Amino acid sequence: MTIYKSKGFTIIELLVVVAIIAVLAAIVLVNVTGYINQGKNAAIKGNLATVLTNGAVFYEAGGTYANFCTNAYVTGPSAAVLAAGGSALTTAVNGCVVNAANTTWCACSTMKVTTAEPANSTFCVDSTGYKKVTQNAGLCANRCPVGGACAD
């Protein structure tokens, strides 16, 4: 009589292992995406904080905010990072606005969705020193109206 010894795994065992790996991969993917978006939001906040500082320097140099939103103070390297986050500073919808008298300005960016910043969150800075994330305040066009100051 010949006895056969089984070598290897059954199909059921392999399917259970694949299912466990798939569940773990899904959990890791969700967490990694959240951390990536948190990093992008931190970059947006940092870049707009730099624009806030640059606004003061720009005003001291010329006594006006004329052409501030099209100047290198706003459209320099930081704009590329904001564009990667989905918001370029040089557009009126997600961007920078100077009032008609060139006395105030406002810059805004839409945030990536995270647990701290839900959908429709925006980060806004203006010439008064305002800098804040607001949830469900609408698009940046609403946050940075023609008046050139952040609106909640």
pLDDT in tens, 99-148: 889 999 998 888 888 888 888 888 999 999 999 998 876 677 788 887 78
Residue 81 — pLDDT band, cuts 50, 70, 90? Answer: very low
Give the predicted TM-score (pTM) of the model.
0.71
Kindly tell me the burial class for residue 152, based on how many C-beta atoms sit within 10 Å of its own C-beta (0-12, 13-18, 19 or more): exposed
Kindly state whether residue 120 falls inside one of the protein's structural domains: yes
Please say if the pLDDT value at position 75 is more than 50.
yes
Here the tokens at position 125 are: 């800075």
Instruction: Tell me if 101 is assigned to some domain.
Output: yes
In a domain, 59, yes or no: yes
Asked whether residue 76 is assigned to any structural domain, the reply reads: yes
**What is the total count of domains within the chain?**
1
49 within a domain of the structure (yes/no): yes
Residue 4 located in a structural domain: no
150 within domain boundaries: no
Asked, for residue 64, whether it belongs to a domain, the answer is yes
Q: Which domain holds residue 77?
A: 12-143
